[in-house]
């Protein structure tokens, strides 16, 4: 009897999870849409939907268009059921954003970081200050926040508490979850920033509909998220996707990780600016930070042969890196994201051409190479989906 009850609870949670996930990603939908798309019976859908409406998780969103007869009601997740916070811990700033349950942005704040001084305690302090700031701006009680997702550079070792290894930042086994958790009782979910960008694009952007894709993050540093059969590939200890530290030129330029010839040493924003400075015979690149300096390089390319050559080389290097992804993973799509990729967006045709020269013909012809659709907020948006993904997996039961 006890086993039967446990089995029934398990089935019901699985049904709740399937229906909630479908509504979260594809709403508005009718009950009949849910029957067709999930394979659940009409009574099962009706019972679960009734429970979710009673709990305030799901709401009716008007009537669907009808050719006659009684119109069906559309359903969606209730935007004010709960709130989530997404954090992008970049190398030049910490961005904290608050979203409602329908992923509408309600409040945002940024804290600049000195790339030479990214102490974990400083980052944790910015995250905590940001949580307080965005909930205050939107007048949202912390009790109504489902959780905080945080995307960071480096390898995130998952365990009882998430630990971050980021050689480029000088972080070695940094207990980031413990540092932030000391200042908040909100549930914390920490992952690599490229992986959170990939999740955002899979759910809402350029990855929708793909089963096999690679999402490349190009910012100050470089990383990637590999999705196969709809699931992010993590490897033995969640370090899969460190694309920026694959070797592009053996014995080449020094990389911040300590190796030489890494892809990041050629196409990361800091590296591109360094190459431009060298091409200018040591003269400083105009701008007060990496973003303004990279923008200055792009603007100068219209009138400067030196700037044009640096960008052409960058497209070639990036194309070679993309070709490696295509040859290794055979994706349907390669999506380029991150703030530097957005600044360099006009290079996309040249990147495609360079990738075509380096990749094997058959997998290259099957793959599309495109820019991300969610812009510079993709990492924070994807981080905010981490507590929601847990909530959906657990059948909409708040812990």
pLDDT in tens, 48-85: 999 999 999 999 988 877 666 677 889 999 999 999 99
- pLDDT at position 313 is 98
Q: Which of 75, 120, 60, 71 is nearest to 94 (CA)?
A: 120
Q: Cα(62)–Cα(76) distance, rounded to whole angstroms?
A: 10
- pLDDT at position 5 is 59
Asked if 364 and 357 touch (Cβ cutoff 8 Å), the reply is no
- pLDDT at position 4 is 54
Q: Cα(226)–Cα(397) distance, rounded to whole angstroms?
A: 29
Q: Cα(43)–Cα(253) distance, rounded to whole angstroms?
A: 63
Number of Cβ within a 10 Å radius of residue 38: 16
One of 1.10.357.10, 1.10.10.10, 3.40.50.720, 3.30.70.1230 is the CATH number of 8-77, namely 1.10.10.10
Q: Which of 204, 68, 83, 196 is nearest to 138 (CA)?
A: 83
- pLDDT at position 208 is 94
Bond preceding residue 28 cis, omega within 30 of 0: yes
- pLDDT at position 299 is 97
Sheet holding 145-152, edge to edge: 105-112, 93-100, 83-89, 145-152, 188-192
Q: Enumerate the CATH 1.10.10.10 domain ranges in the chain, comma separated.
A: 8-77
**Angle value at C-alpha 15, between 14 and 17, nearest 5 degrees:** 65
pLDDT one-digit tens code per residue, 118-146: 899 999 999 999 999 999 999 999 999 99
Q: Which two tokens stand for residue 363?
A: 């997998």
One of 3.10.450.30, 3.30.420.40, 3.90.180.10, 3.10.20.30 is the CATH number of 208-373, namely 3.30.420.40
Q: Which of 202, 229, 203 is nearest to 215 (CA)?
A: 202
Q: Cα(102)–Cα(171) distance, rounded to whole angstroms?
A: 35
Q: Enumerate the CATH 3.30.420.40 domain ranges in the chain, comma separated.
A: 83-197+378-394, 208-373
Could you say which residues of the chain have pLDDT below 50? Answer: none
Q: Which two tokens stand for residue 198?
A: 């990939």
Q: Which two tokens stand for residue 31?
A: 């009950």
Q: Cα(366)–Cα(96) distance, rounded to whole angstroms?
A: 37
- pLDDT at position 67 is 65
The CATH class given to the 83-197+378-394 domain equals: alpha beta
- pLDDT at position 99 is 98
**Angle value at C-alpha 189, between 184 and 192, nearest 5 degrees:** 130
């Amino acid at each position: 009897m006890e086993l039967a009850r446990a089995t029934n609870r398990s089935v019901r949670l699985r049904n709740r999870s399937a229906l909630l996930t479908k509504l979260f990603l594809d709403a508005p939908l009718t009950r009949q849409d849910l029957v067709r798309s999930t394979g659940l019976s009409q009574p099962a859908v009706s019972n679960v939907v009734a429970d979710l409406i009673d709990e305030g998780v799901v709401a009716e969103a008007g009537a669907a268009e009808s050719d006659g007869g009684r119109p069906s009601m559309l359903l969606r997740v209730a935007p004010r059921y709960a709130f989530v916070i997404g954090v992008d811990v970049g190398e030049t700033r910490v961005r904290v954003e608050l979203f409602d349950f329908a992923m509408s942005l309600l409040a945002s704040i940024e804290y600049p970081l000195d790339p030479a001084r990214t102490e974990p305690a400083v980052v944790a302090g910015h995250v905590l200050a940001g949580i307080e700031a965005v909930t205050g701006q939107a007048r949202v009680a912390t009790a109504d926040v489902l959780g905080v997702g945080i995307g960071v550079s480096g390898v995130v070792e998952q365990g009882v508490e998430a630990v971050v290894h980021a050689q480029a930042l000088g972080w070695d086994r940094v207990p980031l979850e413990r540092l932030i958790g000391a200042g908040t009782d909100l549930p914390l979910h920490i992952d690599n920033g490229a992986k959170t960008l990939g999740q955002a694009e899979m759910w809402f952007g350029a990855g929708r509909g793909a089963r096999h894709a690679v999402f490349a993050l190009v910012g100050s540093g470089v990383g990637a998220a590999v999705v196969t059969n709809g699931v992010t590939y993590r490897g033995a200890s969640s370090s899969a996707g460190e694309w920026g530290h694959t070797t592009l030129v053996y014995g080449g330029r020094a990389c911040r990780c300590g190796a030489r010839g890494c892809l990041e040493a050629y196409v990361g924003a800091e590296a591109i600016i360094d190459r431009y400075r060298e091409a200018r015979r040591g003269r400083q690149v105009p701008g007060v930070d990496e973003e303004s300096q990279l923008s200055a390089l792009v603007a100068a390319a219209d009138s400067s042969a030196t700037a044009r050559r640096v960008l052409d080389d960058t497209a070639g290097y990036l194309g070679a890196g993309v070709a490696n992804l295509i040859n290794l993973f055979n994706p349907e799509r390669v999506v380029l994201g991150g703030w530097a990729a957005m600044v360099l967006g006009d290079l996309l045709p040249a990147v495609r051409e360079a990738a075509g020269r380096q990749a094997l013909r058959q997998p290259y012809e099957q793959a599309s190479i495109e820019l991300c659709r969610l812009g510079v907020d993709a990492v924070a948006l994807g981080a905010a989906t981490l507590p929601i993904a847990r909530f959906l997996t657990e059948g909409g039961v708040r812990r």
